[in-house]
Amino acid sequence: FERRSEGVAIFGGEAVKSLDATERRAIAAKLMPRIRGLISERSHKAGHFDDSTAVLEFVNSRDLRPLAALGTSCPDHFLRTKIRPLVIEFDPAKPDVDAVIARLADDIAEYRVGYQAYYDSCKHPDSPAIRDPNAVVYLMPGVGMFTFAGDKATARISGEFYVNAINVMRGASTVSSYVGLPAQEAFDIEYWLLEDLKLQRMPKPKSLAGQIALVTGGAGGIGRATANRLLREGACVVLADIDETALASANDELAKVYGRDFVRPVLINVTSEEQVISGFAETAVEFGGIDILVSNAGLASSAPIEETTLALWNKNMDILSTGYFLVSREAFRLFRAQKIGGNVVFVASKNGLAASPNAAAYCTAKAAEIHLARCLALEGAEAQIRVNVVNPDAVLRGSKIWTGEWKEQRAAAYKMSTDDLEEHYRSRSMLKRSVFPEDIAEAIYFLASDMSAKSTGNIINVDAGNAQSFTR
């Protein structure tokens, strides 16, 4: 091989230069949600981005288009990748991403027509019905490869299979010429009846399969419980938090249970516009977009009004009001790019509806959250973007808020010891029950899932009953 390939230009030589890594990821963040939206009409898809050396060598080559059109040659390859990819026309020397976006729908529609023609010309009387006609693999000169499938692991593995196909093309075209499988032979393998029986026997997809969630405050008690609940239903989850150590711990804990394909950590201070924008871009690159935002970042403070400093007031407003605005705005931008709807769930508080002693800053900021949710529900409805609120109360166990001064401050406000605080909250509730992070997570899952598909602008109190916080 070395003797015969010596002096031979791989894939006909380089036709274009790669953009730098930062530019490649920025383009991926912009394109992947749009591709995802266009191909998720049957079911949600998760994406994977690969800009490895092997991929870039192929997508930048002179022979990209003729080789890609020949399709893959190994059955294991195209069972994962379909017989051929979709090549996105793009000149990295004159990068016009908006032009790519403008013709993306037509390119995808053209691919579907081609796949339908392939099916119609090769099918037998007993062939299984046509499957999803969308491409799995998308190749972009100067940028890399996007792959999409029903879950992140399958999208990643599909990409790995196409890299193997690239290696086969490299070897064959270097020493001789590459030949793909004839269309009929490829079809007979892809639509093999025994393969179809295997597909039919696969477990039914979970309720959030292919969906992507971002949970702020993801390293805390409610955040972890929520991530766990969504992951259990098949979602991919981005854990966003300001606490790097706790974030790494939460990510490792969940990845051990659900696999590293399905969970990612992103360090975000929700009061930083730059970090929020960057975090959502990272989510788009890692998973292809977003379907669910759980806005849960929080803090708690307690002080009589005359002792409430401007700094304390601003801190509450920055995190609980501005922070919720910033993450919601970025989620809406991705939702609108995808055009397949979306769900936002705010984790507010009983204190957003009912006044509490010595907590004016906190209560006011939580009330602002709730009204922001109402406004967003109104704005998002025409795009099938739902926005709802969960109001917890006194979730002591597993909460980072209750491990700090807040617990002592609330005990002082109620003139009792910290040891008696949990029992105080339990006994004051109408149902006389404690509230746990898992209870909040269950309500969040309900609002994020299709079980609540016809609800928006609503509030669910998870507080074991408090007449003061009844909605009116």
Per-residue pLDDT tens over the stretch 232-260: 999 999 999 999 999 999 999 999 999 99
**Using a CB cutoff of 8 Å and minimum separation of 24, what contacts does 270-276 make?**
270/216, 270/240, 270/242, 270/297, 270/319, 270/322, 270/323, 270/324, 270/326, 270/327, 271/318, 271/319, 271/322, 271/323, 271/326, 273/326, 276/326, 276/327, 276/330
Are 72 and 24 in a shared domain? yes
On whether residue 314 sits in a domain, the answer given is yes
Same domain, 86 and 234: no
The pLDDT mean for the chain works out to: 93
Residue ending a domain, among 176, 200, 224, is 200
What is the per-residue pLDDT for 104? 98
135 in the same domain as 228: no
User: What percent of the chain lies above the pLDDT cut of 90?
Assistant: 78
The Cα–Cα gap between 130 and 190 comes to 10
> Which pLDDT band holds residue 346 (cuts at 50, 70, 90)?
very high
Q: pLDDT tens-digit profile of 305-331?
A: 999 999 999 999 999 999 999 999 999
CA dist 10 and 154 (Å) reads 29
* Whether residues 36 and 98 fall in one domain: yes
- Other CB atoms within 10 Å distance of the CB of residue 201: 7
CATH number, position 396:
3.40.50.720
Q: Name the domain boundary from 165, 200, 235.
A: 200
Q: Residue 282: its pLDDT value, please?
A: 98
265 bridge partner residues? 239
Tell me, what amino acid is at 111? Answer: Y
Q: Is 425 a catalytic residue?
A: no
Give the DSSP per-residue string, 320-354.
IIIHHHHHHHHHHHHHHHHTS-EEEEEE--GGGTS
Nearest one of 332, 207, 209 to 262, comparing CA atoms: 209
pLDDT class of 80 with cuts at 50, 70, 90: confident
Residue 229 three-state SS: helix
Q: Is the pLDDT of residue 65 over 90?
A: yes
Same domain, 183 and 259: no
pLDDT of residue 278: 98
Q: What pLDDT score was predicted for residue 401?
A: 60
Instruction: Reduce the DSSP state of residue 266 to 3 states and report it.
Output: strand
Six token digits for residue 185? 């032979």
pLDDT of residue 279: 98
Same domain, 82 and 175: yes
314 is in which domain, residue-wise?
A: 212-469
- 420 is a domain residue: yes
- CA pseudo-torsion sign 435, 438, 441, 445: negative
- pLDDT for position 402: 60
Tens-digit pLDDT profile for residues 259-291: 999 999 999 999 999 999 999 999 999 999 999
Domain-located, residue 207: no
Identify whether the C-beta of residue 239 lies closer than 8 Å to the C-beta of residue 263: yes
Question: Number of structural domains, the chain?
Answer: 2
Tell me: do 181 and 230 sit in the same domain. Answer: no
Checking if the pLDDT of 5 tops 70, the result is no
Residue 205 lies in a domain: no
Pair 60, 17: CB distance under 8 Å: yes
216 and 192 inside one domain: no
- The span from the CA of 44 to the CA of 149, in Å, is 8
What is the average per-residue pLDDT within 15-35? 98
135 and 245 share one domain = no
pLDDT (mean) for 351-373 = 95
Instruction: Evaluate if residue 400 carries a pLDDT over 70.
Output: no
Domain of residue 185, CATH code: 3.40.225
H or E, element range at 107: helix 97-122
Same domain, 230 and 152: no
Among residues 138, 171, 200, the one where a domain terminates is: 200
The active-site residue, picked from 111, 178, 362, 445, is: 362
Does a structural domain hold residue 92?
yes
Average pLDDT over every residue of 113-129: 96
Model pTM score: 0.93
Q: Looking at the domain assignment, is residue 43 inside a domain? A: yes
First CA to last CA across the chain, in angstroms?
A: 78
> Does residue 127 sit within a domain?
yes
Residue 386, in any domain of the structure:
yes
Q: CB-side exposure of 472: number of CA atoms within 13 Å?
A: 5
Q: Please say whether the beta carbons of 52 and 67 come within 8 A.
A: no
Residues 325 and 454 in one domain: yes
Q: 196 with 218, same domain?
A: no
Residue with tokens 């696969």: 202
pLDDT digits (tens, 9 = 90+) for 211-232: 999 999 999 999 999 999 999 9
Phi-psi region of 398 (alpha: psi -120 to 50; beta: other; left: phi over 0): left
